[in-house]
Amino acid sequence: MDVDKGDTITGAPFVGQSTKATIHRRDKDYYFDDGSAIFLVGTRLFKIHKTLLTRGSPFFQMMFALPSGAIDQDGQSDDRPIRCYDSLRDFRALCWALYAGPSEILAQANPKTMDISKMISITVLGQKYDFKILMDWALDMLEGFLAKAKGNFIDKVQDWDRVGKIFVISKQSGRSTLAHRIEEDWLHHILDREPYALTNALIMAEGSPEFRTFHAKAYYNHLKASGVFKSKPSEKDVRFIHEIAAPETNYLQSLNDTQKLRILQGFWSLSLLKIELAKVPGPKLPDNPACATHARDCAQVWREWWEDLFDEAEYHDKPLEDPWNIIEAASKKASKPMKDPEPPCDDMIRAGVKKMAEDFFSGLADRFMIP
Ligand SMILES: [Zn+2]
């Protein structure tokens, strides 16, 4: 956290182009007397070394290559600083990254000592100012954190906007492992019915087509969290008699009309899918004219295999009621041969089950009418 105490106030208040006097304070850590470029962020002045900026950033190389006087803020005095419209937190983190010592850098590799807020700030400004190596390093640290402290990222950041920014940057820079871990953490928060987890997911995903599948998963997890696929109601969240039918318990009320339509359409479509999956004797096996005993042996094994799927789940007291849980369980079961001896079409049937799992997520956004 930034501490403001101890900052010095520059002599006379700076009078800018407007007539309003503004007091600019020098940053206590990053105003170096022998620095070579003065920046103004908010009302804070920074004097840092150009070499450190140009060394890692083509953006600053270009900026400082401009002929002197081409910009009216040249960064050579407190009266003519280079203005940056970043948050103080982000800019100080960038300075930290430029000047940090080896032990401070090393501490970031340990989830217990890592400063997650700094890593986010460095990633955000690293992208903005083209500090590729710094940005990649901060993303590596975040990825390490998410691997070791699973499910802890969002709780630690406590700021949906910043979580969203890292999610977007990790997608844009092809960091699929990191993006996947953030997605898992986010969906888990929706499943836990954390206030704002869904609305923030929708805000982020609605403007970004590359988050189409995440968008659909957000709705899907919200549906799961509401328990609509369960045959037995949850014992948690039991409401009082006066709450049950009261208008404010309408759980769709925080959504706009488009979002309401999407969730209703998705629910309808997934409910039909669930009915299809739970039907006895299960989905129909496609014909295979090349298999002589298909109708007898293969179809028989398939029917028993599918029924076993539900029996086994029931036996373990984890009934399959959610459409994805049915497909997921089938897909797991399909990693082994169906029976010993294997039926002639064993490979074909199991490939079909696995394809069902792929199709579920690739088609999920269509179920929620996500454009
Ligand atoms: Zn067959």
pLDDT tens per residue, range 70-111? 555 678 889 889 999 999 999 999 999 999 999 999 999 998
Residue 2's pLDDT is: 42
> Would you call the peptide bond into 281 cis, given omega within 30 degrees of 0 as the criterion?
yes
Statement: residue 10 has pLDDT above 50: no
Between 209 and 282, the more confident residue is 209
Ligand 1 centre to CA of 313 (Å) is: 26
The tens digit of pLDDT for each residue in 42-73 reads 999 999 999 999 999 999 999 888 776 555 56
Q: How far away, in angstroms, is 348 Cα from ligand 1 center?
A: 8
pLDDT surpassing 60 at residue 16: no
State the chain's mean pLDDT as an integer: 88
Mean pLDDT on 177-199: 93
Alpha helix ranges (H) inside the chain? 50-56, 58-65, 88-99, 102-107, 116-128, 132-148, 153-157, 160-172, 176-191, 197-206, 212-226, 257-278, 299-315, 323-333, 346-362, 364-367
Average pLDDT over residues 238-253: 67
CA of 30 to the centre of ligand 1 (A): 73
Distance 358 CA to ligand 1 centre (A): 23
Residue 186 pLDDT exceeds 90? yes
Side-chain-side CA neighbours of residue 214 (13 Å): 29
Say yes or no to pLDDT of 118 above 50.
yes
45 DSSP assignment: E
Give the three-class secondary structure for 287: coil
Distance 346 CA to ligand 1 centre (A): 8
Distance 303 CA to ligand 1 centre (A): 13
Overall average pLDDT of the 133-140 stretch:
96
Distance 287 CA to ligand 1 centre (A): 8
Reply yes or no on whether the pLDDT at 301 is more than 70.
yes
What spacing in Å lies between the alpha carbon of 304 and ligand 1's midpoint?
14
Give residue 143's Cα distance to chain centre.
Answer: 12
